[in-house]
Amino acid sequence: MKRVFPIASLPLVSLLLVGLPMTAQAEETFSDAQLEVMAGSCANCHGTEGRLAGSVPTIAGRPADVLSSRLLDFKHEENGETTIMDRIAKGFTDAELEALARHFAGIDLENDNEPEE
Ligand code: HEC
Give me the mean pLDDT over the 3-7 stretch.
Answer: 54
pLDDT at 117: 47
Number of domains the chain contains? 1
Asked if 88 contacts 75 with a C-beta cutoff of 8 angstroms, the reply is no
* Ligand 1 mean position, distance from CA 67 (Å): 10
Q: Does some domain include residue 55?
A: yes
3-state secondary structure of 10: helix
* Binding site membership of 75 for ligand 1 (Cβ less than 6 Å): no
> pLDDT of 48-73, one tens digit each?
777 777 778 889 999 999 999 999 99
H-state helical runs in 47-105: 64-75, 85-89, 94-105
The confidence score (pLDDT) of residue 98 equals: 96
The pTM assigned to this predicted structure is 0.73
Cβ–Cβ under 8 Å, residues 51 and 58: yes
- CA 26 to centroid of ligand 1, rounded, Å: 22
| Residue 71 Cβ < 6 Å to ligand 1 | yes
Print the domain residue range for 80: 7-105
Q: What pLDDT does residue 79 have?
A: 75
Ligand 1 touching residue 93 (CB < 6 A):
no
- Residues 62-85, buried b or exposed e (16+ Cβ, 10 A)? bebeebbbbbbbbbeeebeeeebb
Whether residue 49 is contained in a domain is answered as yes
Mean pLDDT, the chain, integer: 79
pLDDT at 62: 93
CATH (domain of 66): 1.10.760.10
Residue ranges with strand state E in 6-75: none
